[in-house]
Amino acid sequence: MSKTESDSRPGASLEVILEGIGDTVRARRKAQGLTLSAMTQRTGLSTAIISQVERGLANPSFSTLAQIAHGLDIPVGELFAQQPVARSPVVRKSDRRDLLSTVAEARGRTVFELLSPDLHGTLEALWVETPPGHDSSDTPFTHRGEEFGIVISGKKEVFIDGEKYLLEQGDSITFNSTIPHWYKNTSDEVCTAIWVISPPSW
């Protein structure tokens, strides 16, 4: 991908486009539960190259992007589909990026929409909607940083190292993300919550 090609969209700098592509690649990889090593096996690219693309530090050729898209089983155009034309501190509701747009769950769809402008700052803010029956206990999360969550509506069970905390409307929780944690919604209604993670886990 040449600089001329990347700058063809009005107002979109090469840096912004590369960062946007990196965000998309990382989000899709994480959503599918793939490690960098797994992506290397799928694409034939080195983990270093994939990591540089995800961090917006590489200016990949179209061939490289095609290999990455093939590894993620998505059209290569999807890597460019939601690139911003300019940075803004404001994220409109209609412009939220859906980090799990290609993932459907057996018992309903979980929504993870990005409330922060991108994933390159020191925090990641998410609008999260989990359907009845949601259960992530099979794949506990462990990553560096801290998390804060507040329930807007419904109920959410948060498990931290196996200990359960039931959150209802207006309740919040803060914990160290390096401790294994997972979530359940055993109620009969969708749980809506705002989750803040620092630094971004994607």
Domain ranges of the chain: 3-79, 93-198
Residue 75: the pLDDT is 81
Separation of alpha carbons 69 and 58, rounded Å: 16
Query: Do 98 and 31 form a contact (C-beta atoms < 8 A)?
Result: no
Tell me the sheet residues that pair with 141: 181
Q: 4: pLDDT confidence band, cut at 50, 70 and 90?
A: very low
Residue 176: the pLDDT is 96
Among 149, 143, 159, 146, CA closest to 129: 149
Query: Do 87 and 117 form a contact (C-beta atoms < 8 A)?
Result: yes
Q: 87: pLDDT confidence band, cut at 50, 70 and 90?
A: low
Tell me the sheet residues that pair with 31: none
Which CATH fold would you assign to the domain 93-198? Answer: Jelly Rolls (2.60.120)
Separation of alpha carbons 16 and 56, rounded Å: 8
Which CATH fold would you assign to the domain 3-79? Answer: 434 Repressor (Amino-terminal Domain) (1.10.260)
Is pLDDT above 90 for 82?
no
